[in-house]
Structure 1
Amino acid sequence: MSEKGLLGLTCPRCGGTVPVPEGQALVICPFCEMRSVVSGERGVRRYQVPLRVKREQALESLRQFLTRGVAIARDTLRRAEISEAFLVHIPFWAAWGQGVAWAFGQERVGSGENKRYVPREKRALSEVSWNEVACDVGEFGVRRISLEGRPLEPFNSDQLHYSGMVFEPVGSPERALESARKSFEEWVASRVKLSRTSQLFTRILGARLGLVYYPVWVLRYLYRGRAFQVVIDGFDGQVLYGKAPGNVLYRAAMLVGGMAVGAFVAVDVPALIVSLSDDSDILGIALISLAAGIGLMVAGWQKFRYGEQVEYHRYKANQESASGLGGDLLDVKDIVREVQRFIE
């Protein structure tokens, strides 16, 4: 038996790397002295996504991001001063499986007086995948990534540490797999959604868990004495997360335009509709127009209120708002949906 230890296993208590001598089933963490049993093939397999984007390519992606859209201050690229540029490898819990779902209930067909519900049975069978960050890297703004089209290479600890900073995972694989199963079930259930569901069955087949180390470039720059950060995908060079100073003129235009157009849609359009007819269907359209106008005014105010700093997420976490500011943001579609429910 070789005495050479295998690296790559993580202590479930402290997160430190535990060397595992070949053939040994019981190991002791050198940091917290916790004893663990090596589970062999049942353990979590580790992979890494290859680095294909060099530093200069990442800087070019940053320059393109700073000139993207009118919401970012126009002189950002000219005044930006790069303060830091470094590579990190972030671990992600990743799971794959096959989702199956059956739903029995009723589907709404027709509208108005012809509206009715007919019995329906829906089935879905699909390959499903899931991932979430395996450590606390909130400062980088990356909570999830896409592994579609990414080759998964065997984990090489020495190679990753040589190329950049490597974060170690925290938390248990069991908890990650349970989160993956829950996400799988919610997703596959959405594929068989009915107007009225009486019975729903979901099954996840062959679920397997892995740990994937993903390369990202972290670029930090200064603009008028303020610090900003952009995170670049180390595989395809796309921006995963970024912050930039907002455009003052754009904010003002969104506020004025949102209030003007919103007031027209909320007040003038409903008044015109009601004056043309007193039919109940016409009244419902007027209420929808009122709600849409209010939504436009709120949206314009939000653009002005939160536009001082532009924040971009390529992949948004399921439980986070679109702006990344937290809380419940008023949405035009939500308003219209509630009005339609009221009318029905």
Structure 2
Amino acid sequence: MISENLNCPHCGGTLPPPIGKRKFKCLYCDKSLYFRSKDFVPRYIIEESKDIEIKKETEKLFGSKIVNPFVKEEALLVSRKKKFIPFYMLSGKRGGVMEIGKERIVAPNYMKLNLDPQNNISTGYQRNKPEIIIEEDSRVTLSDFRYVYEAATLDEAGLAQEEIRRAISANMDRLKAASVEELHKKGELISPTISKETIIENGVRSAKAGKDSFEIMEMNISIVYYPVEEMIFSFRDTFFSITFDLVRGKFLWGLLPCRRNLLVYSSLLLSSFLGFFFGQFLSFLFIPFTFKDIQNNFSFWMYFGTFIFFAFSLIFGGGLNIAYLLLKTPFGARITPDGLFLSKIAEPPKSFLTPYLKFVLRTFASGFEEALKGKKR
């Protein structure tokens, strides 16, 4: 590795480049200096809000209607640590020369001489046909641009990263210089996984979008860290984590145990709906037939009996299967920036009623088709 010596800007002394840090002191004049290499990327952090009460917000979250009511009383806090999520920020200036064409309507007056018989000269004015004159106006424009992009993809964050990106753009006035060494002492520093070249290419494309005559006059890339706090809880031999936004004071993502009785009520509601649908269907069956048809027509009993069998099978097979799946499928209360939602966290287990339900649905469809053919005859 070949390194070049540095010169102190204050006293002109020759110094070796620092190793492992940017801040150092001159060996001659003892002035503090900062070393910036060619590949140096400035780092900033969004300041945390000081009026956020995490404990109060957590208790409010645990008291939600879809969260297991015992979580608030039995959950134990296992760990609590800060995380700093990286984002790229492209900033600079764009400018160019814009050719603007202006149209101006000109209608000049000119004087006309009239001669009369007594050799007296009289004058008059006549308006000429209007003319259109195009005047070109060239203007040099210069404007600032600033774009924020994700520097690392977090699978557990989902759409919350887009929410954070917008939050950074809205809180640029709270940016301050960050020291990587100091951030490592406070919490976990997430490393960027997306290359700078990809971000620069996207930034140039965005800066010139819709402005073909504009050119990038200056571009700087920096990393902005967004502070969040991850809390891990233990509840009945299971662990779950939630992530809190330290800038806006809201939860971003996570998973909580849900209230199981809601699933039981949902299964009962679905079974009741199937029963109501079956009753309405039975009342509809008697409409196309008269009383005489009911006594003497064999096709009516075939038609009616087929639907009775398959409708009952659908209610008991389908209703029980749905209720079983609702009770056995692992659900959770998923945290998003927009609130809590009931979400499936794993695939439902195979039920012994599932093959039976598929058979009932397949036979029901074929029986319905045959019954309609018999009715048409």
Report the TM-score, using the length of structure 1 for normalisation: 0.49
